[in-house]
């Protein structure tokens, strides 16, 4: 199993630049997820690693070997696509073995690899069926099995769960995580779905506007986003952003006055943040509806989303700013009523005018 090094990689289609100067190292055995919105370049980056897109400039190394000038079949990678691309007239066994037959792999070796892959994917009982006899999740497992039998250095997954319904996506996501643990292989998975990224990845590579915004573990991405884009993209719902009217130093920590007049002291050291206009970031779960404790911030309730374990409260502040807070359980709050929230001050973030994030010291 091999790691991957991407050095100063760029991609353009005529005058349109898709990726610009990408540098990234993926360790051997890592499960890395490329995450981002439509058009951010995540699938293009995956296809460049696979050899399905040419490189405009830069280098790709797999297992210490430069591969960006090699044909796809010479790179030691295997790709699983969004569409299953199975041959309908062939059995599962024949679909999985087709690529090996094309490269003249001995028959006994083909049978050994197919049987081993079927065992890993818990589908030996499906080997004699045709694709039309399989569910969507089973077809995707066949596509993954077809990749496994090639014994690649790197597995590449291009939004492989997007054609599945919600329940099946959850089950297949668990199966993929277990597969990674069993194989210990290097895997790259492309998705726009943050839940898939947060639950599968050892590290997330979040792309935006032709570049990498942040590379970090799911926990780090969520709790300490590097930029405003990351903070807004990751989380459901994303982070609240509130304009700041004034900034002061209180005992070495930044205290702010919001546009609606509320004062909030943060746990961010004053010397860590440059002077200039700032925005306060608060995740909805760190704004909890005040019942007995004094509220840190108040507003008028506009909408309630009751989700069972918690309710999301959409609130308008006095200055017209809007935020989303939480109330544990099925909230009894009424629309158009006055509500207040307590703020977890240790979890706040500040963003400068370049959208760079600042957090409390570890």
Q: In angstroms, rounded to a whole number, what is the distance separating the alpha carbons of residues 127 and 354? A: 55
Give me 102's structure tokens: 């094309």
Residue from 309, 307, 314, 303 nearest 329 by CA: 309
Domain definitions of the chain by residue range: 4-233, 240-358
pTM: 0.90
Q: In angstroms, rounded to a whole number, what is the distance separating the alpha carbons of residues 217 and 203? A: 4
Alpha-carbon distances, residue 36 vs 58, 191, 211, 246 (angstroms): 22, 7, 11, 33
Residue from 127, 157, 196 nearest 49 by CA: 157
Please state the φ and ψ torsions of residue 117, each to the nearest 5 degrees: -65, -40
pLDDT, one tens digit for every residue, the chain (362 residues): 479 999 999 999 888 899 999 999 999 999 999 999 988 999 999 999 999 999 999 999 999 999 999 999 899 999 888 777 889 999 999 999 998 888 888 999 999 999 988 888 888 999 999 999 998 888 888 988 888 888 888 999 998 888 777 787 888 888 888 888 888 889 999 999 999 999 999 999 999 999 999 999 999 999 999 999 999 999 999 999 999 999 999 999 999 999 888 999 999 999 889 888 899 999 999 999 998 778 999 999 999 999 999 999 999 999 999 999 999 999 999 999 999 999 999 999 999 999 999 999 87
Question: How many CA within 13 A on the CB side of residue 338?
Answer: 4
Considering only the C-alpha atoms of the chain, give the largest distance between any 2 of them, rounded to a whole number of Å: 76
Domain 240-358, CATH number (from 3.20.20.80, 1.20.140.10, 2.10.260.10, 2.40.50.140): 2.40.50.140
Alpha-carbon distances, residue 348 vs 94, 169, 227 (angstroms): 55, 33, 13
Query: Domain 4-233 belongs to what topology?
Result: Rossmann fold (3.40.50)
Question: How many CA within 13 A on the CB side of residue 189?
Answer: 29
3-state secondary structure of 215: strand
| Residue labelled with tokens 């089950």 | 171
Give me 330's structure tokens: 């099925």
């Amino acid at each position: 199993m091999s790691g991957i090094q991407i050095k100063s990689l760029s991609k353009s289609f005529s005058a349109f630049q898709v990726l610009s100067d990408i540098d990234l190292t993926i360790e051997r055995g890592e499960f890395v997820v490329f995450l981002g919105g439509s058009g951010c370049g995540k699938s293009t980056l995956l296809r460049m690693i696979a050899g399905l897109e040419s490189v405009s400039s830069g280098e790709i190394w797999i297992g210490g070997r430069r591969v960006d000038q090699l044909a796809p079949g010479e790179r030691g990678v295997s790709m699983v696509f969004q569409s299953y691309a199975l041959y309908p007239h062939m059995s599962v066994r024949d679909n999985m073995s087709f690529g090996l037959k094309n490269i003249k792999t001995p028959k006994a070796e083909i049978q050994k690899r197919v049987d081993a892959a079927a065992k890993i994917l818990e589908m030996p009982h499906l080997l004699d069926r045709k694709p039309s006899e399989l569910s969507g999740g089973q077809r995707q497992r066949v596509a993954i099995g077809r990749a496994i039998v090639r014994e690649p250095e790197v597995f590449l997954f291009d939004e492989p769960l997007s054609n599945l319904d919600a329940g099946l996506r959850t089950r297949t996501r668990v199966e993929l995580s277990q597969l990674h643990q069993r194989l210990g292989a290097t895997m790259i998975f492309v998705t726009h779905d943050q839940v898939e990224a947060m639950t599968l990845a050892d590290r997330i590579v979040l792309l935006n506007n032709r570049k990498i915004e942040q590379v970090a573990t799911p926990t780090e991405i969520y709790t300490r986003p590097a930029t405003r884009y990351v903070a807004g993209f990751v989380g459901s719902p994303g982070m609240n952003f509130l304009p700041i009217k004034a900034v002061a130093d209180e005992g070495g920590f930044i205290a702010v006055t919001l546009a609606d007049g509320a004062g909030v002291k943060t746990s961010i050291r004053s010397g860590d943040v440059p002077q200039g206009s700032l925005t306060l970031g608060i995740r909805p779960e760190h704004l909890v509806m005040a019942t007995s404790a004094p509220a840190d911030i108040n507003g008028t309730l506009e909408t309630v989303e009751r989700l069972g374990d918690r309710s999301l409260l959409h609130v308008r502040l006095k200055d017209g700013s809007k935020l989303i807070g939480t109330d544990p359980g099925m909230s009894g709050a009424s629309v158009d009523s006055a509500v207040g929230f307590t703020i977890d001050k240790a979890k706040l973030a500040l963003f400068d005018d370049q959208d760079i994030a600042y957090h409390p010291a570890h």
